Amino acid sequence: MKILLPVDGSSHSTKAVRYLARHWPRRADVTLLNVDLPLTESITRWLDAATIEGFHADNSKAALKQARQVLKRSGHAFKERTLVGDPATETVRLAQKGHYDLIIMGSHGRGAVKSLFLGSVVTKVLSTSRVPVLVVR
């Protein structure tokens, strides 16, 4: 089974990683994904490409740190992908293009009313993905 596991470094995404580590076989093909939001044009116009790339690399490294540790301790092999863009859009795009069987995501557990106003990566992924999504709360 090919599983996409988007993480953002939060305790909620780490909970999803721990769920996978406990409940899925080690032979699963797991890809950790971090999608960093792009910098605004008002910032990028003052920076060179290497600085911007380094900024995103540092953010992704920090966001993936806890997930890496959990999966390594559990004996799960995994790959990593880092992208820059809208997290929901890029998650769905990669899941479909990469022919993943499942997306496992952690949820912040906000209520339905707050999600309507704040927006939620999980809600966006659920509403646009053709790949099944398992939400861990």
pTM: 0.89
Give the pLDDT of the chain (137 residues) as one tens digit per residue: 999 999 999 999 999 999 999 999 889 999 999 999 999 989 988 999 899 999 999 999 999 999 999 999 999 999 999 999 999 999 999 999 999 999 999 987 555 555 544 348 999 999 999 999 999 98
Q: What residue has token string 């557990």?
A: 109
| CATH number of the domain enclosing 22 | 3.40.50.620
pLDDT at 107: 86
Say if CB 43 and CB 91 are below 8 A apart.
no
pLDDT digits (tens, 9 = 90+) for 82-118: 999 999 999 999 999 999 999 999 987 555 555 544 3
Strands 102-106 and 29-36 turn out to be unpaired
Could you list the beta-strand ranges (E) of the chain: 2-6, 29-36, 78-84, 102-106, 133-136
pLDDT at 67: 98
CA 111 – CA 61 distance, rounded (Å): 30
State the total domains in the chain: 1
Strands 78-84 and 29-36 turn out to be parallel
Q: Supply the range of the domain harboring residue 28.
A: 2-136
pLDDT at 109: 58
User: For residue 61, what are the contacts with CB-CB under 8 A and spacing of at least 6?
Assistant: none
